[in-house]
Copies of this chain bind each other. A is one copy, B any other.
Amino acid sequence: MAGRVDVARLAGVSPAVVSYVLNGSHPVAAGTRERVVAAIDELGYRPNALARSLATARTHTLGLLLPESANPYFARLSSAIEDAAFDAGFAVLLGNGSDNAARELGYIRAFLDRRVDGIIAVPGGEFLEGWRELESARVPAVSLDRLQQGINLPSVVVDNTGGASAATAHLIDHGRTRIACITGIAEVSSAQERMLGWRETLVAAGLPAAEHRLARADFSVEAGHSATLALLARDPEIDAIFAGSDTQAVGVLRALADLGLRAGQDVAIVGFDGTPLSDYTTPRLTTMAQPYAEIATEVVRMLLNLIEDPHQERSALHRVLHTTLIPRDTCGCGPAASAPQHAPPA
């Protein structure tokens, strides 16, 4: 592989000049530049990023730590973040915490060791030690999707309470009164806030927000499925379910089908996240959509600013974006809820 010296020799200049034209950091005579550029692409020369990083203390690489990257929501989110990072000229190292403290820590260290310029993390349940290392390493980091108890890092989240409230209100508008909630564990701030939005809205409407209509489970289809079964066994009167995530909502759908109940009619549902697949469930899932692209550009923008100037006013570094209701079939809005399901073949 051709090196900087080869280029320099071919162009008849010193190695330093090659750097100058490469980085545009120094004035270089037009003629010289041309010769260097010609030499560069004649040799197919590409600067060694490791060496450059060692010298500049910048890797143009971000670390992204997720709790479980296979989850459709996080998959969508990470894809958006990668896009934004790519546009900004950054590569991303991906880490999968798997809700496992040791792994999260392992990835944080892997990122730190490789000197990433910044870290975006969706903190899992047991992330305290990871944060500690992060803080002591003084590497710019921003918390995404959720806040971590007692640690004040810059963050980008959505208005979970507001979104949950809108979802619940929509259910109430449809005449539902016995509305259950399935959400994530209390340690996850976003899950907790969604529960709060549900509860507050119910209370404000003079409707019961009974404890036995609240289920906490992890953000998986399986959990949504079994939580629904348990909820309905405990209280068959339930006529609507607000699910704190689309993945859980898919489990709800499946559970209703298992019980022979019609989603959108017997039991109305509103999910959360606006996952791509939510538009293709049967029936179509009404959900609170998150603004993925906006979240992604905002979080990398914030991180990049932080990298430029690490001593920013912390208070300005908390962004709250908004979700929007996408009314489809499972709430009772759409046509499909009453569409022919036993119609003869076309």
Give A contacts to B, CB under 8 Å: 1, 44, 46-51, 53-54, 59, 61, 68-72, 75-76, 78-80, 82-83, 86, 91-96, 98, 103, 106-107, 109-115, 136-138, 221, 225, 232, 236, 250-251, 253-254, 257-262, 266, 276-277, 279-284, 336, 339-346
Q: Which residue of the partner chain B has the closest CB to A74? A: B75
- Docked-complex contact B113 and A48, CB < 8 angstroms: yes
- Docked-complex contact A282 and B253, CB < 8 angstroms: yes
- Docked-complex contact B86 and A78, CB < 8 angstroms: no
- Docked-complex contact B69 and A78, CB < 8 angstroms: yes
- Docked-complex contact A114 and B345, CB < 8 angstroms: no
Q: Name the contact of A345 in the complex, choosing from B48, B93, B266, B279 (C-beta under 8 A).
A: B266
Q: Name the contact of A93 in the complex, choosing from B93, B112, B113, B343 (C-beta under 8 A).
A: B93
Chain B contacts of A69 at CB under 8 A? 75, 78-79, 82
- Docked-complex contact B342 and A341, CB < 8 angstroms: yes
- Docked-complex contact A250 and B113, CB < 8 angstroms: no
Counted per complex, copies of this chain come to 2
Known: A96-B82, A113-B47, A114-B49. A70 touches B59 (CB 8 A): no
Shortest A115–chain B CB gap in Å is: 5
Q: Name the contact of A136 in the complex, choosing from B44, B71, B232 (C-beta under 8 A).
A: B44
- Docked-complex contact B75 and A346, CB < 8 angstroms: no
Q: Name the contact of A112 in the complex, choosing from B46, B115, B138, B259 (C-beta under 8 A).
A: B46
Instruction: Report how far A50 CA is from B339 CA in the complex, Å.
Output: 60
- Docked-complex contact A114 and B50, CB < 8 angstroms: yes
Instruction: Report how far A46 CA is from B115 CA in the complex, Å.
Output: 11
Instruction: Report how far A304 CA is from B50 CA in the complex, Å.
Output: 21
Chain B contacts of A344 at CB under 8 A? 260
Chain B contacts of A46 at CB under 8 A? 109, 112-113
Instruction: Report how far A107 CA is from B78 CA in the complex, Å.
Output: 16
Instruction: Report how far A281 CA is from B51 CA in the complex, Å.
Output: 50
Chain B contacts of A106 at CB under 8 A? 86
Chain B contacts of A95 at CB under 8 A? 82, 91
- Docked-complex contact B49 and A115, CB < 8 angstroms: yes
